Structure 1
Amino acid sequence: MTITDEWVADALEAIQLPRRLRLRLTRNGLTVVPVTQAHLTTQRRIANQIEARMPGWMPIGEFKILPAREGYKPEPDVSVLPEDQWDSGSSEFDEGLLPFVVEVVSPESKNRDYSTKPEHYAMRGIPAYLIVDVLSASWQLLTQPENGTYQCTQSGPFGKDIQIPVADQTLVLDSSQFMRV
């Protein structure tokens, strides 16, 4: 990590924002992101489905992925960990522990969620990346990362089940539960 990366990381932790806003470090600099109720509700409903449908696994959110790469620690909206790997006192988890990540699209994040983050997550070897677009009421599941690119893409409208491979099982999410802006 360079001196600049350390300074940015320190600044991100020191800046206090209202709970309805998030500060994100992107390739274009620091961005203030408003969080909509559709985003929050969808994020919560995904976590609730994970908890109900995957015994032995714990849904996680509001965390950073380690290690930092290019000074960047992605902060997906939802993921899951085996219960024995979950640490209630941690807000950072190693990329090798995550079988998938979910990003819920906001107006501000749409371009990054579709064009920048797939590269970041595939480069980290995260097996599946789910984009839940509350703006268009659709989803896209990217799987099989290879050389920084996901090789397989599935998509559908809200209302269609999403099947995410997780270890030796399949998580089925009911996308009819997701909210639209």
Structure 2
Amino acid sequence: MSITDNWVADAFEAIELPRRMRLRLTRNGLTVVPVTQAHVTTQMRIFSQIDSGLPGWMPIGEFKVLPAREGYKPEPDASVVREGQWNAGSSEFDEGSLPFVVEVVSPETKNRDYNTKPDHYALRGIPAYLIVDVLAATWTLLTQPEDGTYQCTQSGPFGKEIAIPVADQTLTLDSAQFMRI
């Protein structure tokens, strides 16, 4: 990490924004992203379904994925870690402990969610990446990362169930509960 990288990381940590906004550090710099109620509600409903449908796992959000690669730590909207294998005081999780990640699409993040983040997550070996598009009322599940690319893609409209493999279980999300803008 260079002096410039440290300066940007320090600035990123020091900036305070209203709760209705998020600050994202991407390859292109700092971006302020408004958080819609559709985004928040969908994220909460995903957490609820994880909590009730995936015994032995804890839903997590508002975290960074470690290690930094190319100075970048992705910040997915949701994932899970095994119960008892996480630190309640931490907001960073190792990529190897994440069986899947979820991004809820916002107008400002749409291009990154569909075109940049799949490569980041596949390169990290995260087994599944779910894109929940509250703008189009659709979902896309990418699985089987190999050589930095997901090999399998499934998509559907809100209203269909989404089966995500998690270790020796399957998490089934009811996308009818997701909210559309």
Question: Under a length normalisation based on structure 1, what TM-score does the superposition of the two structures give?
Answer: 0.99
Superposition map of 1:117-156 within 5 A: 117-156=117-156
Q: Which residue does the alignment assign to 1:5?
A: 5
Q: Which residue does the alignment assign to 2:42?
A: 42
Q: Which residue does the alignment assign to 1:89?
A: 89
AA paired with 2:112? R
AA paired with 1:75? E
Q: Secondary structure at the match of 1:84?
A: coil
- Offset from partner CA, 1:67-91 (integer Å, 9 cap, x none): 0001100000000000021221110
Q: Secondary structure at the match of 1:51?
A: helix
- Find out whether 1:177 has 2:167 as its counterpart: no
**Moved >4 Å (runs of 4+):** none
Contact 2:27 2:72 in 1 (8 A): no
Contact 2:65 2:94 in 1 (8 A): yes
More divergent stretch after superposition (17-26 vs 133-142): 17-26
CA apart distance, 1:29: 1.4
Q: Which residue does the alignment assign to 1:104?
A: 104
CA apart distance, 1:26: 1.6
AA paired with 2:45? R
Q: Secondary structure at the match of 1:73?
A: coil
- Find out whether 1:158 has 2:158 as its counterpart: yes
1:11 and 1:143 map into 2 onto residues whose CA distance is 35
State, as a whole percentage, how many aligned pairs show the same letter: 81
Q: Which residue does the alignment assign to 2:26?
A: 26
- Offset from partner CA, 1:93-138 (integer Å, 9 cap, x none): 0000000000000000000000000000000000000000000000
Q: Which residue does the alignment assign to 2:61?
A: 61
1:135 and 1:115 map into 2 onto residues whose CA distance is 16
AA paired with 1:8? V
> Which structure 1 residue ranges, 5 or more long, are not aligned?
none
2:9 and 2:39 map into 1 onto residues whose CA distance is 25
> Which structure 2 residue ranges, 5 or more long, are not aligned?
none
1:25 and 1:58 map into 2 onto residues whose CA distance is 26
